[in-house]
Structures are given as structure tokens and as C-alpha cells.
Amino acid sequence: MDIRKRFTVAIVAVAALVAVSGLATTSHSASSGQDIVETAVAAGSFKTLATALTEAGLVETLKGPGPFTVFAPTDEAFAKLPAGTLDALLKDKATLIKVLTYHVVAGKVMAADVMKLNSAKTLEGQDITIRHMGGVQVNDANVVLTDIVASNGVIHVIDTVILPN
């Protein structure tokens, strides 16, 4: 099966999981006017990200007009960081901002558009690498859910926190 067919099958499978898991309500957020932050909070699996955005002072930015594409690590992704890393990040605002903005791309980049990219420039300034083998990866993170639409952009869920150089 070629990569596009596998990706399409993966998207259909993820959509089914979303509907079953209750995250499907986030895909309706654009019609209710929820921005990226509100959409992530409503999903319930981004508590650590929401805390980090608050500590970094980035909530208002991601509530702004955008559009933004956020490769959003789940709470489980943050839990995979080495012991003490998250606490250290939360205490170092400059580094926290750098890490968080490394997860954000300007513009609304839907999954179909991601499939055409090998890299993307982040708000942090560095590029992230995008690979399409056996699914989609952003650097070392697997994209596990795509196209969660918000009023000011889109969220793609990743299973690992990605770190800039």
C-alpha cells in the first residue's frame, strides 16, 4: 500500500477513534467559535500544555487571530520527558517559550497539506522535519490525530514533546 493510501486509512481510523473517545466534540469547535486554546482545553488531554502556555504567557497569542497550526503534545507526551525536565522548563520562561513556539507553525496547515511538506518553519524560528514513512512524524514525534479545527487554526496531536536545537 502506498504512503498516501496508508495515511488516508490512518486518518479514517483516527476519525473513528475520535468519535468513540469523545474528542469528536473538538472538531465542532470552529462552529462554536472556540480558538486553539479553548479547543485544546475542551479536549481534556492537554492540561500540561495549557499550564505551560499559561506559564509562558502565550495563551493570548494562541487566542489571537492566527491562523496557527499547533503540533500539540498530549499530557502523556509531557510525561515521557526525563524526570525534572518539565519542572525546569516551567521555571525557565525563555526556554519554555522557545520549546512551545517550536510546536507552532504560522498558517492553517491541514493534514493533506502536511503530506506535501518535508519541513516547516516554526514560530520559534527553526524548521521541524516532517517524515511520511509508516505514518507522519514531526521530528521524533508521531502525529496521532489530525485536523482538529479551531476558529483560528488547526491542531495536530503528537505523542512526544519536540525540542529545538
**51 vs 37, 59, 105, 136, CA distance in Å?**
11, 9, 20, 27
Q: What is the helix (H) or strand (E) element at residue 153, kind and residue range?
A: strand 153-158
Which pLDDT score is estimated for 33? Answer: 84
- pLDDT values of the chain reduced to their tens digit, one per residue, 165 residues: 443 333 333 333 333 333 333 343 333 334 458 999 999 999 989 999 999 999 999 999 999 999 999 999 999 999 999 999 999 999 999 999 999 999 999 999 999 999 999 999 999 999 999 999 888 999 999 999 999 999 999 999 999 999 999
Is residue 52 one of the residues assigned to a domain? yes
Is residue 163 one of the residues assigned to a domain? no
Is residue 68 one of the residues assigned to a domain? yes
Whether the pTM exceeds 0.85: the reply is no
Is residue 165 one of the residues assigned to a domain? no
Let me know: does 129 contact 120? Beta carbons within 8 Å: no
Q: Report the C-alpha gap between 73 and 89 in whole angstroms.
A: 15
Identify the CATH number of the domain in which residue 81 sits. 2.30.180.10
Domain count, the chain: 1
Q: What is the CA 34 to chain-centroid distance, rounded?
A: 16
Is residue 137 one of the residues assigned to a domain? yes
Is residue 164 one of the residues assigned to a domain? no
- Helices 47-56, 36-43: crossing angle, 10 deg rounding: 140
The x, y and z cell numbers of residue 120, run together, are 516547516
Which pLDDT score is estimated for 119? Answer: 97
Which pLDDT score is estimated for 100? Answer: 96
- Which residues span the domain enclosing 8? 3-158
